[in-house]
Amino acid sequence: MNAALPALPGLPRDGDGPVFGEPWQAHAFAMALALHERGVFTWPEWAAALGAQIDAAQAGGDADLGDTYYRHWLAALESLVAAKGVSSARELARYEQAWDHAADRTPHGKPIELRADDFEA
């Protein structure tokens, strides 16, 4: 196991090492890999975007315990997607609101599914 892992008590792990704490984290991770593989951004661009998000969060008071890492990951991904013109900040916000609407109407434990009316809320 990596020696730095005990320094991140909020990072979920099992006997083999770090694990995703929530399914959305795995999805965000996979989206970043897929977009990189398609040439949307380079690894240096990714590292700079993620580093900037983490720096901004720490400047805003994030204690950097590992429990917010994938929120920074997602914010970096959204900023790169908008900066590269793959999507706009407006479109990302529209989808975020639609997902929030869909989550609000979905019973606990059931999969969240987007419907057309989620975009009208």
How far apart are alpha carbons 103 and 88 in whole angstroms?
Answer: 22
CB 76 within 8 A of CB 52: yes
Strands (DSSP E) along the chain, which ranges?
13-14, 17-18
| Listed residue (71, 83, 16) closest to 45, CA to CA | 83
Using one digit for the tens of pLDDT, what is the confidence trace for 29-87? 999 999 999 999 999 999 999 999 999 999 999 987 778 889 999 999 999 999 999 98
Enter the pTM of the model.
0.72
CB 9 within 8 A of CB 19: no
Q: How high is the pLDDT of residue 67?
A: 81
How far apart are alpha carbons 14 and 28 in whole angstroms?
Answer: 20
Q: Who's near 108: CB < 8 A, 6+ residues apart?
A: none
Q: Is the pLDDT of residue 107 over 60?
A: yes
Q: How high is the pLDDT of residue 7?
A: 53
CB 5 within 8 A of CB 16: no
Q: Is the pLDDT of residue 13 over 80?
A: no
Total count of residues recorded for the chain: 121
Q: How high is the pLDDT of residue 61?
A: 93
